[in-house]
Amino acid sequence: MILSILLIFLASLGLTGALRYYALKQGIIDNPNERSSHTTPTPRGGGLSFVITFLIALAGAYLFEITEFAPQTKPFLAIFCSGLLVAAIGFWDDHVHIPARWRFLTHSVAALIGLYLLGIPEIPLPGTTINLGFIGYPLGIIALVWLLNLFNFMDGIDGIAGSEALFVGISAIVIMQLTDAGDFSAPIFWLSILMAGVAGFLVWNWPPAKIFMGDAGSGFLGLMLGLFALWSANLGLSIWCWIILLALFITDATVTLLRRMLNGERWFEAHRSHLYQQLSRKWSNHHSVTLALISLNAFWLFPLAWLATSYPSFGLVTTLAAYLPLVLLAIIMGSGKREQYE
């Protein structure tokens, strides 16, 4: 397992460098504008490194059974097909702008495939569990589509999306290793492979970034975390664990969107009013914001996620305890506040 992780890390590291060269040659560059959080023209599309390495490793293991952790048919098809769809539409959008309706349709189809093949987990509550049944499909599609898009929204400063994904992924791996709720060997292995690819990309994306993730990578990453949440939840891990681990991104993106809608702004247009973007301007660097996010994740959200896993019946209460301070913090500090230049 360690050797596989190392090989994927090195492959992603090298492929990110090759993608940077390709982006520079093809002019696939993010040029700074009034809505940007960066000041230097920077190539984008580096997230394809972990998309390619992960999907090739997954397909190779399934087709040729080259590892004892080769996924079963349903998890393989759910992750591979859904991930390929989202990465493909993101790659296309990185090169030629795709209308939002086609992106939304593709994202919804990808989410439906994942939900249908992995199944909808039960929701643990005090003294009972809720089986969502058919209503779980529209709710699940909304949740997965929002998750993959919010990773795109939150990928606005150097290193933040990759760092968040690494925190969520590694934390989930640790919690699955420590709990005896089920056999998580397959999701642990494949989540480790994905995180190795993300780490290889993050070497290039760490402040100051030499390449950006791009829509193909950010959407894929958000969807993958959602699908791994479904996979592990159906094997026995509390879904509240994942909801808590993702709290920082969910809170900032959701509060920002709702506030912009209430202000009557064109919420679907690009902006830089997320809390993390405002902090990066206030602190005059991306490095401090990314480190602050890592610290909050490690010292606030990880312990609560472990608590929700240990006592799944109280997962909802623990989740509310995790989110309430973050929501208040986002509101007080101006997440989604109208930008002065508008």
3-class DSSP state for residue 292?
Answer: helix
CA-based torsion, 74, 147, 187, 204: positive or negative: positive
pLDDT tens by residue, 269-295: 667 778 888 888 787 778 888 899 999
Measured CA distances, 196 to 84, 113, 258 (Å): 19, 25, 34
Choose among 34, 97, 94, 98: nearest CA to 273. 34
Choose among 208, 176, 174, 219: nearest CA to 50. 219
**pLDDT attached to residue 251:** 94
Q: What tokens does 254 get?
A: 């959701």
319 C-beta neighbours (distance < 10 Å), count: 20
Judged against a pLDDT cut of 70, whether residue 39 lies above it is answered with no
For 105-120, what is the mean pLDDT?
A: 96
Name which residue leads in pLDDT, 334 or 76.
76
Judged against a pLDDT cut of 70, whether residue 17 lies above it is answered with yes
Q: What tokens does 94 get?
A: 């990185």
Task: pLDDT band for 340, please (50, 70, 90 cuts).
Answer: very low
Alpha-carbon distance of 294 to 277, in angstroms, equals 16
Measured CA distances, 133 to 15, 120, 143 (Å): 42, 8, 16
Measured CA distances, 197 to 176, 179, 185, 189, 339 (Å): 20, 25, 19, 13, 35
Look up residue 34 and give its amino acid: E
Helix, strand, coil percentages for the chain (3-state, nearest 5): 70, 5, 25
3-class DSSP state for residue 334?
Answer: coil
Alpha-carbon distance of 94 to 245, in angstroms, equals 28
Judged against a pLDDT cut of 80, whether residue 342 lies above it is answered with no
DSSP type of residue 67: S
Alpha-carbon distance of 192 to 118, in angstroms, equals 19
Choose among 70, 105, 71, 110: nearest CA to 87. 110
Name which residue leads in pLDDT, 190 or 337.
190
